[in-house]
Structure 1
Amino acid sequence: MAFFLEALLGGLMAGMLYALVALGFVLIFKASGVFNFAQGAMVLFAALAMARFSEWVPGWLGIEDKFLGNVIAFALSAVVMFALAWLIERLVLRHLVNQEGVTLLMATLGITYFLDGLGQTIFGSDIYKIDVGMPKDPVFLLDSVFPGGVLVNLEDVYAACIAALLVVVLSLFFQKTSTGRALRAVADDHQAAQSIGIPLNRIWVIVWFVAGITALVAGIIWGSKMGVQFSLTTVALRALPVIILGGLTSVPGAIIGGLIIGVGEKLSEVYLGPYVGGGIEIWFAYVLALVFLLFRPQGLFGEKIIDRV
């Protein structure tokens, strides 16, 4: 039972990180109808900015307090992501209004390669470390209930809590603020939103900035776990089955889908891996996504598209 709980908790924590990356896809698609293939590059770019600013800020400002230095580095990285969102809207999206979906997809592919090159040109291409003070040592819980206790990685616990907190903040932002309601209005109907005075261009900047902050948090967490390197862009590939499972237009779906994928990967690797030769954790999520595409292509919480002719 203790072993099952370890696998279950590990899957839930990994699932929250998958959901965090998937949120970037969902937020942008809901507000602009763009499938943002550049989300992985945004995670890498944001993580590079955070890693380098955390190195540079103490020397620039003469700060010895590590926590304060990280806070300033995070603020500077957030400013960079806002500037990036503004430039993407100004130079790309503004000129592609009412274009075909495949055109917008190709535009995000171009943004992906541009960010990969720009980030490494400005911040460097080495492997960098992000240290925000999350504990690395594992701990044993429930010693009195199970012999030997349940082994839990504290860094994963902190990361999952941060991801859950961000999800709650985003949910409140969308439900309780006027800007959040405007974003939902744009998601429902662009032309109707414009007709009642909602500025579409400003909404796109906001939603790309929110997606950038999500990418920044995800980049910090993943960078803290395995270092900031070029392979960080592949994190987005792990989020694709999540949005297929949960639905491309549903924020709760991204969360539930992430948890299902995370738990399914861990439990399948532990209990089914020995029978299929191992490595099931690598392809389990994609097989599950394929099944959903065959039988429920809109996902668990996605909106079913009905074309009237």
Structure 2
Amino acid sequence: MFLVEVIVSGLLTGMMYALVALGFVLIFKASGIFNFAQGAFVFFAALSFVGLLEMGVNFWLALVLTLIIMLVLAIAIERVVLRPLVNQPLIILFMATIGLNFLVEGIAQVTWGSDVYALDIRIEDTPVEFFIEHTGMFLSRQEIVAACIAAAMVVILTIFFNRTKYGRALRAVADDHQAALSVGIPLQTIWAITWGAAGIIALVAGMMWGAKTGVQFSLALLALKALPVLIIGGFDSITGAVVGGLIIGAGEKFFEVFIGSYFGGGTENWFPFVLATVFLLFRPQGLFGEKIIERV
């Protein structure tokens, strides 16, 4: 039963990884670039939310204000930084997101300070009695809620991409910017919607991870932890983000508990990257990523 508890706990953590990875997938599907600044978005959202709470703002009002802040920030970045770079080589866009990463981190710390905050999202980080009584497993209430929220966002995004006009337009833009523009698809509008949605995802991820680990600078490094998830699942697949997150979450927890002692512990920091490297050798596009075939 302990083995099952370890794996289930890892799967719940994996859904939280998937929540972060969804923001990357969304931007990649729209522009074909890895948005290095998504981790900074998560940090900025969590710090803004807890900063408003520290100022005495009501919880729900702080949530709404932080949502507005993230939408304004995301749309402003699209309009001021990325819009002038339309049709530039992807490496230019990628380098722009690296610059944005440091810019957003700096704005966050200048605005709200660099102290470490505890974040109370009104969900207790305690074991759920139901699972203790019926299965003997100590599963965190907070992680279960976070997993449910991540699953709900996956469903919403899947419906958005497959059932809505803007979702189909976004897929067209991802396939070919020039072709999308030639048939009248407003590229700037699509990118603004995409970055706005990425800002919302960053807020949710920031709240969940901030409550789990505290609101601190290390939240910005979630971009690095999401990278193995994306490599395994595929950079352009929502399903892949979930599956990759589950594999990383369960894999790192299992390795840490049962094998990590032979390596001196702390394997959660490097094992996901080892696992991702193995996937790169055998399936570089990821489990659900599209295989790119170039004809010459």
- TM range, smaller chain: over 0.9
Superposed counterparts of 1:58-69, under 5 Å:
58=57, 69=58
Assess if the C-alpha contact under 8 Å between 2:22 and 2:238 holds in 1: yes
Assess if the C-alpha contact under 8 Å between 1:137 and 1:153 holds in 2: yes
1:70 deviates by 2.2
2:107 alignment partner in structure 1: 118
Assess if the C-alpha contact under 8 Å between 2:87 and 2:177 holds in 1: no
Ranges in structure 2 where 5+ consecutive residues have no aligned partner = none
TM-score (norm 2): 0.95
Superposed counterparts of 1:121-270, under 5 Å:
121-142=110-131, 149-270=136-257
Assess if the C-alpha contact under 8 Å between 2:252 and 2:268 holds in 1: yes
1:24 alignment partner in structure 2: 23
In the TM superposition, what whole-angstrom CA distance separates every residue of 1:229-274 from its partner, at most 9, and x where no partner exists?
A: 1111111111000000001111110110000110111111122223
105-114 or 119-128: which moved more? 119-128
Tell me, what secondary structure is at the counterpart of 1:306?
coil
Find the aligned partners of 2:234 and 2:162 in 1 and give their Cα distance.
19
1:55 deviates by 3.1
The aligned amino acid for 2:126 is: D
The aligned amino acid for 2:250 is: V
Assess if the C-alpha contact under 8 Å between 2:43 and 2:216 holds in 1: yes
Find the aligned partners of 2:84 and 2:61 in 1 and give their Cα distance.
34
Confirm whether residue 42 of structure 1 aligns to residue 29 of structure 2.
no
Assess if the C-alpha contact under 8 Å between 1:141 and 1:151 holds in 2: no
1:76 alignment partner in structure 2: 65
1:140 deviates by 4.8
1:97 deviates by 1.5
Assess if the C-alpha contact under 8 Å between 2:240 and 2:287 holds in 1: yes
1:142 deviates by 5.0
TM-score (norm 1): 0.91
Find the aligned partners of 1:226 and 1:78 in 2 and give their Cα distance.
21
Assess if the C-alpha contact under 8 Å between 1:141 and 1:152 holds in 2: no
1:276 deviates by 3.4
The aligned amino acid for 2:98 is: L
1:283 deviates by 1.4
The aligned amino acid for 1:242 is: V
The aligned amino acid for 1:31 is: A
1:82 deviates by 1.4
Find the aligned partners of 1:281 and 1:213 in 2 and give their Cα distance.
27
The aligned amino acid for 1:219 is: G
RMSD: 1.6
1:3 deviates by 0.4
Assess if the C-alpha contact under 8 Å between 1:78 and 1:213 holds in 2: yes
Ranges in structure 1 where 5+ consecutive residues have no aligned partner = 59-68
Assess if the C-alpha contact under 8 Å between 2:7 and 2:250 holds in 1: yes
Point out the structure with max Rg over C-alpha. 1
Find the aligned partners of 2:32 and 2:158 in 1 and give their Cα distance.
19
1:278 deviates by 2.6
Find the aligned partners of 1:100 and 1:250 in 2 and give their Cα distance.
22
Find the aligned partners of 1:170 and 1:74 in 2 and give their Cα distance.
21
| Corresponding pairs, count | 296
Tell me, what secondary structure is at the counterpart of 2:74?
helix
Assess if the C-alpha contact under 8 Å between 1:141 and 1:150 holds in 2: no
1:145 deviates by 5.9
Q: Percent identity?
A: 57
Find the aligned partners of 1:306 and 1:137 in 2 and give their Cα distance.
49
The aligned amino acid for 2:172 is: A
The aligned amino acid for 2:269 is: I
2:8 alignment partner in structure 1: 9
114-123 or 269-278: which moved more? 269-278
